[in-house]
Copies of this chain bind each other. A is one copy, B any other.
Amino acid sequence: MLSKIGQDGSLSDRVAEEVVRYIQDNRLKVGDRLPNETELAAALNVGRSTIREAMKQLANSNVVSIERGRGTFVKDRPGQVDDPLGFRFANDKKKLLVDLIELRLIVEPPIAALAAERRTQEDILRIRDAQAEVERMVALGVNHGAADAHFHATVAEATQNSVSSSIVPVLNRSVDLVISISGQSSLDRTMQYHRDICQAIARGDAKAAEATMRAHLEDHRNFIFAVFGRTSIG
């Protein structure tokens, strides 16, 4: 199960790798508890302080969460870090926004088409719930950025493609930033686009889902251009 650790390289690095392999081999799921420090130390033949350091490393890279007094648990989407592409290091945030919407326009319309072809009944419910949540946030007048990103994530999940489920949320990180500047201007149009996307996916109409997602994101891109201007590239 857990293989013993040798003597070369950084010990905690290799212990961290062993723990990752343990999670994979045993197909542990979100929220599953890992063996405790004492058990792991014995199984891997290393000290508890090494286990502790390895676990800190894994917590930093979003593989586990350490809950004091309760234990160490597998995280949702293990290994997916908060800002996986290092967007916070972009020196020019305007260019980043323009670049992001350009990529979303490439990726999300075909994803909406696949979603319409492959969605399950549960997917349809999840997409509808996500849109209802966006409308609730908008009605309350609070920031709907996270709810909006979640709507697009549920569409991506309906493709049954694990890579699209991972990538769309990353590309949607920018939504909050745009909303913080845009205020309420394009909200009515956004709501209508979302509803139309929902319906096209629900009735399995791939062409309409793709076209409506494209129109929605083009509208969003035009808004970004209006607020920030095009870059020298656009």
Interface magnitude class on chain A: 35 or more
Mark interface residues in A60-86 (1 if CB within 8 Å of B CB, else 0). 111100000000000001111101111
B86 touches A77 (CB 8 A): yes
Q: Do residues A85 and B171 form an inter-chain contact, with CB atoms below 8 A?
A: no
CB distance from A162 to the nearest CB of B (A): 5
CA distance A203 to B86 in the complex (A): 33
Is A118 on the interface with B (CB-CB < 8 A)? yes
Which 4 residue pairs spanning A and B have beta carbons closest together?
Answer: A79-B86, A84-B84, A85-B166, A99-B163
A96 an interface residue at 8 Å Cβ cutoff?
yes
From residue A54, how far is it (CB to closest CB) to chain B in Å? 11
Q: Give every chain B residue within 8 A of A61 (Cβ-Cβ).
A: 60-61, 81
Query: If the complex has contacts A106-B106, A171-B163, are A118 and B85 also in contact, measured as CB distance less than 8 A?
Result: no
Could you say which residues of chain B place their CB within 8 Å of the CB of A118? 233
A106's contact among B84, B100, B110, B170, by CB below 8 Å, is which? B110
CA distance A28 to B233 in the complex (A): 24
Query: Footprint of B on A, CB under 8 Å?
Result: 20, 23-24, 27, 57, 60-63, 77-81, 83-91, 95-96, 99-100, 102-103, 106-107, 110-111, 114, 118, 160-164, 166-167, 170-171, 233
CB atoms of A161 and B103 under 8 A apart: yes
Copy number in this complex?
2
CB A18 to nearest CB in B, in angstroms, measures: 13
Q: Bound complex: CA of A106 vs CA of B167, how far in Å?
A: 12
Contacts of A163 in B (CB 8 A): 85, 96, 99-100, 102-103, 171
Q: How far is the CA of A91 from the CA of B25 in the complex (A)?
A: 9
Known pairs A60-B60, A80-B84; A27 contacts B107 (CB<8 A): no
The answer to whether B24 and A88 touch across the interface, beta carbons within 8 angstroms, is yes
Report yes or no: B60 in contact with A164, Cβ–Cβ below 8 A.
no
Chain B residues in 8 Å Cβ range of A62: 86
